[in-house]
Structures are given as C-alpha cells and as structure tokens.
Amino acid sequence: MMSTPKPWQESYLDRFYPQTSWRRDGTRDFFQLLKEHTGGKILEIGAGPSNDTSDYLKTLGELHGIDVDPDVEQNRALTTAAVFQQDFPFPDESFDSCVSNYVCEHLDDPGKHLAEVWRVLKPSGSYTFRTPNRFHYTALVSSVTPHSFHVKTANRLRAIEGHDPYPTRYRLNSRSRIEELAREAGFKVEYLRLLEKEPSYGMSSRFLFLAFTAYERLINSAELFAPLRSSLFVVLRKDAGRN
C-alpha cells in the first residue's frame, strides 16, 4: 500500500527548519520566556478564544483573561474572562504577571495600554509580550495596504484557516518606541530581543517560501541585521519605587 506523500510545506520545513533547529518555532522561544518571567496570578491581555498560549499559561499560575472580542468567554483555560474597551476591569495591583501574544500591534493608544498594565500589576510584577517588528517586510506591507487586503491574503499566505486578522496600528512595535513608552509608564525594560524564525507567510507557494528563507538566513547572519527581524520579545518590569 502506497503512503500518502507529505504536503510540500511539511517537506520544506523538515528540510530547511528541522524541529531541533534554533531557527524553528518562535512560540517555543516565547513559552520559554514566559516560563522564566511569568507566574502567580496572571492576566492574559487579548486572550481570545481557546489557544495554545492560554493553555500553556494555565500551567504557570492562576490565569485570567480579557479581550475586546466576546470570543474570550469561550476560552477554556481561563479562571475568569471579561470583555473590555479601554480600562481594565480590575483593581490596582491585582496581578503578579501580565502577558500578551501578538496583541500590541493592534493598540490605538499604547501609552494608555501600558499605564493600565502598570496599574493592575503588583510591585515588581512583569509584563511579557510578543509582537511584530514594524520594520519587518510583513509589517511594512501591512502598513501601506488596506485592512481588506489583509483579510483576503493573510491566512492564504500562511496556508491556514483561522480568524480574520484584526486591524493593525504598529504604535508599539519598535525597540525605541517600546523603550520610550515603557519608561513613561514606569516600567524597566528587563528583556528585549528581535527574532526571525521560519517564514510563516511563505506557505502559499514554493517560490515565496524559498525567497523568505533566503531573507531569514541573511538577517540571522549578523546582529547588524537584527532590526529587520520579524518579532519583538519583551519583558517589562514594574518599577516598585514609582508611585
């Protein structure tokens, strides 16, 4: 009996990005960062419906979630779920840790967002998040094209089925902007690193995959190119001495 051949996407990933490679799976790196900096009573901001990040956070502490989308109420990993608009529905100093995974690129007012995170965190609490780098090619294209284009193309380029992308703003999506607004809100930047992994937006064609793989190899060849990598991994620490 003949076996069914692998989809080309799986074959290419196995060839260029084996599971053991450091080039593969930014989520694995993000989860390691969460393990090192997150615990206690955790607030996931932008938790959304059930997902792998929420399921992992649940293993690190008591997980609560908020989102502007009512789908958050269907997230099975959350102890409590709430829908909000601007102010977080919690008293001051309610949480040991806050987390966001690909949420900060959607913020209309990142200064207000960080002020609310700072408010609900306990002294010396952490805010760990992952967000796109505004100087990566995917964000640059997103910045100059209408949202209707993102809806039509984003999931097709990744060869996945999923929720339509939310509108992007990229107002907290560079090293300098994060450092500036974090300082204004009363945070210390404890960790900030740019990473580039496998080309998730190259899954619709072999040509795109190979072109984006060449880009990944180039910008991972030297720290000089770090500002062009795809994702920012950040840990902010609430300055306990600031009132």
> pLDDT tens-digit profile of 4-20?
778 999 999 999 999 99
Cβ atoms 139, 105 nearer than 8 A: yes
Give residue 147's pLDDT: 55
Backbone torsions φ then ψ of 227, nearest 5 degrees: -60, -10
The whole-angstrom separation of Cα 72 and Cα 219 is: 36
Nearest-CA neighbor of 119 among 38, 45, 31? 45
pTM beyond 0.85: the answer is yes
Strand partners, 81: 65
Give CA–CA dist 160/57, Å, rounded. 24
For residues 162 and 43, give the distance between their C-alpha atoms in angstroms, rounded to a whole number: 24
What whole-number distance in Å separates Cα of residue 206 and Cα of residue 203? 7
pLDDT at 3: 64
**Antiparallel, parallel or unpaired: β 187-195 and 231-238:** antiparallel
What is the distance between the alpha carbons of residues 15 and 187, in angstroms, rounded to a whole number? 42
Return the pLDDT at 14.
Answer: 95
Confidence (pLDDT) at 32: 98
Domains and CATH numbers, the chain: 8-238 (3.40.50.150)
What is the pLDDT, as a whole number, of residue 229? 97
The segments of the chain whose pLDDT lies below 50 read 150, 155, 157, 160
Q: What's the pLDDT score for residue 155?
A: 47
Question: What are 117's two structure tokens?
Answer: 């995170």
Q: Which residues pair with 188 in a beta bridge?
A: 237
